[in-house]
Chain A
Amino acid sequence: MTAESESVARIGSRPPRHRSSRTSYWIFLIPAVIGVVALIAIPIGLTVYYSLRNYNLQVGTDTFTGLGNYVRLLTGGDTGFLAATLRTFGYVVVVIVLDFVLAMTQALLVFSMKQHWARFWRAVFILPILVIPTASAVFWRNVMYAPHNGEFLKVLGLDRLVSPPLGDPRLAFWAIIVVVVWAWSPWVFVLFSTGLDQIDKTVIEASMVDGAGYFQRLRRIIFPLMRPVIFVTLTFKALDSFLSFPFVWVLTMGGPGDSTHILSTFIYQQAFNLLDYGNGSAMAIVMLVVSGALSIGAVLGWQRFYGREA
């Protein structure tokens, strides 16, 4: 039912109400609006304020510089920031693709099983998300990727051939990706698996009677039915990967060199290690604008899928 027909139907059956009741819903928004102003708008306003100053506790400067910080960032004056921005987009794309392939494979495997086995393997597949991200990252760093005794390379039989991955600028980024996908992709699996369970089983049984092969069924029936779930899950995952912080920070702190910095870690370092709050704030605002644009893009995309009710 569309929004319009739904509301028309309701007007017909609506009992008489007090005049005040129509508008009084707005009162219920007051606590949240106060919360947003106090906890989000004022802090972000302060970030904007500092982004217009060269507030740096290490150098000891704090004067108004106008858009100076932004001009420097947007004209490529800070190559580290530029590299971190590009790397963040690469990180998002790689994580999304790997998460999709892995989680969809897991979900389809579980989907084809009998009920009690499905429940058991689903529980096994989600085990990694129970380990909190910082704990996963420290564990991978000190056990799986440990410099002298790393179990990861040993299991693959590469321990004499490859240098410890987190210390190698060419490997560190991919070593982080491995941890992120291992530790956090089960969320995507959970959402895909839930989506598959909501598919009408009779449609699939009908296609089996018709003699459709597995991949044909996948392409013609399961993927089209799953499209909204896939789209929503991956947009959420993309937005959240864009903001990702703990894995990179705990595993490498952006190193070796600056070879693994993504936006969150680069800005964090700028502010809390280099104490350059002016520049850090300007970077954070640039990041906020990008993430806001991505969020709006996601919403517009959903509305194309679901209509305006999304």
Chain B
Amino acid sequence: MRRFRAIVRDIPRTALMVVILLWVLIPVYFLVATSLSPDGATLDGLVLPSAISFANYVAVFTGANDIWIPLINSTVVTIASTAIALILAVPAAYALSHLRHRRLGRGMYLSFFVLRGIPPIALVMPFYLIFSKSNLLNSLPGLVIALAPLALPYCVWTLRVTFDLIPREVEEAGAVDGAGRFRMFFSVVLPIATPGIAATGILSALFIYVDYIIVAPLAGPKTYTFSIYVTSFSQDFVQLVGPLSAAAIIGAIPMAVMFIISQRFSRRLASAGIH
């Protein structure tokens, strides 16, 4: 009887769970099943593909519309932009952590949050006009420059919290030993802050990797990032649906890796930005 009552009590929860799982997983099913369908075949409702085939994956890696260049471009651009943002942001976040009880220090910190909300469209127009006059259009350095400001304010904003968590006694001990401000920063503070910096860096890399609005006008066919590359399947030709799904799943692998690493470094995601 007790058991029966427990089952009855769980009915609404189970029903809710089923509905949510259908919502999440039906599109996932279509994505995976489409990617595994034989060349040119499509599904018709919730059925299994007529046969499992990796033809779409092979096509993506070897076909005319090949995935290697966008994957390489994305890797280069993501790493370079994130590195620039971190190099500029880490010392600033450290300073703002120490200056957080000063009016100007706090004001600057808050202004980085406001900078984080700048519409990317307001940045990409001038970049486009500058780049078109200086040969940086369709170039990887151009993309790196234009993507860095997307990550910079976010990095300063989240990294200050990382430095806030380092006990001041650690630095005071270093000061007694006579370490200068810079030596202390590099040899005492930075090693302690590394996990936090890594977590922030990986999350901002993730958002650079998925960016579309900055890259779309500035990139050409040779410098397409992965995010642009997948839109090249956008024509309504049914036969492109298979390779598109395969490409989407391949592009999800770096996302999964970045997501898992960032979770591992820190469960403190409370300020993740989502564009």
Chain A residues packing against B (C-beta within 8 Å): 3, 7, 10, 14-15, 17, 21, 24-29, 31-36, 39-40, 42-44, 46-47, 50, 102, 105-106, 109, 112, 124-144, 146-147, 149, 151, 154-155, 182, 184, 187, 190-191, 194-195, 197, 229, 232-233, 236-237, 239-240, 242-246, 249-250, 263-264, 267-268, 271-272, 277, 280-281, 284-285, 287-288, 291-292, 294-296, 298-299, 308-309
Contacts and interface: CB of A to CB of B under 8 A. Distances in A.
Given A25-B98, A284-B121, A299 B25 contact: no
Contact of A132 (B145, B240, B252): B252
B30 A285 contact: no
B58 interface: no
18 contacts: A25-B95, A25-B98, A28-B94, A29-B92, A39-B145, A43-B123, A47-B123, A106-B20, A139-B245, A142-B233, A142-B241, A143-B34, A197-B267, A236-B271, A250-B212, A287-B119, A287-B122, A308-B106
Interface string B31-46: 1001000000011111
Contacts of A39: 145, 148-149, 152
B191 interface: no
Given A36-B152, A149-B238, A184 B274 contact: yes
Interface of B: 13, 16-17, 20-21, 23-28, 30-31, 34, 42-46, 84-85, 87-89, 91-92, 94-96, 98-101, 106, 108, 110, 113-123, 125-130, 145, 148-149, 152-153, 156, 168, 172, 175-176, 181, 185, 209-210, 212-213, 217, 226-228, 230-231, 233-234, 236, 238, 240-241, 244-245, 247-249, 251-252, 255-256, 259, 267-275
A143 B32 CA distance: 12
A109 B16 contact: yes
Interface SS of chain A: helix
Contacts of B92: 28-29, 31-33
A31 B127 contact: no
A237 B274 CA distance: 7
A246 B227 CA distance: 10
Given A29-B96, A105-B20, A133 B129 contact: no
B256 A151 contact: no
B270 A25 contact: no
